[in-house]
């Protein structure tokens, strides 16, 4: 079953792992997130909810629209910053002068 979302005032439909939209720039943004494995109704809805939340959009629920929640961040600061010494965090931390 197709899932309809609205982002930046433009509507898009996700069905069988593909996005369709009249706006080419929005279509490109959504295709970058497309999951071709989402073929069941539950998977399609979950993916459309993720995409709408990622771009701050809304998803069609029955007769109306509902704001999509923002997904959890994929990268967190804790992944890079040591808990004991956050001032030594970063990918070039090995270049810093040691005391």
42-52: average pLDDT: 92
Compute CA distances 61 → 3, 70, 85, whole Å: 9, 17, 46
First to last CA, the chain: 61
| Predicted local confidence at residue 89, as pLDDT | 60
| Predicted local confidence at residue 85, as pLDDT | 64
Kindly indicate the confidence band of residue 93, based on its pLDDT and cuts at 50, 70 and 90: low
Q: Does the pLDDT of residue 34 top 70, yes or no?
A: yes
Query: Which residues is 60 bridged to in the sheet?
Result: 65
d(CA 12, CA 80): 36
**Tens-digit pLDDT profile for residues 1-21:** 789 999 999 999 999 889 999
| Predicted local confidence at residue 86, as pLDDT | 59
């Amino acid at each position: 079953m197709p899932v309809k979302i609205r982002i930046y005032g433009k509507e898009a439909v996700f069905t069988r792992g593909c996005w369709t939209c009249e706006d080419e720039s929005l279509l490109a943004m959504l295709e970058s997130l497309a999951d071709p494995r989402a073929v069941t109704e539950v998977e399609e809805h979950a993916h459309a909810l993720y995409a709408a939340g990622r771009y701050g959009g809304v998803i069609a629920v029955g007769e109306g629209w509902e704001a999509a929640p923002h997904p959890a961040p994929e990268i967190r600061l804790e992944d890079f910053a040591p808990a004991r010494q956050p001032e030594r965090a970063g990918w070039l931390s090995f270049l810093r002068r040691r005391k």
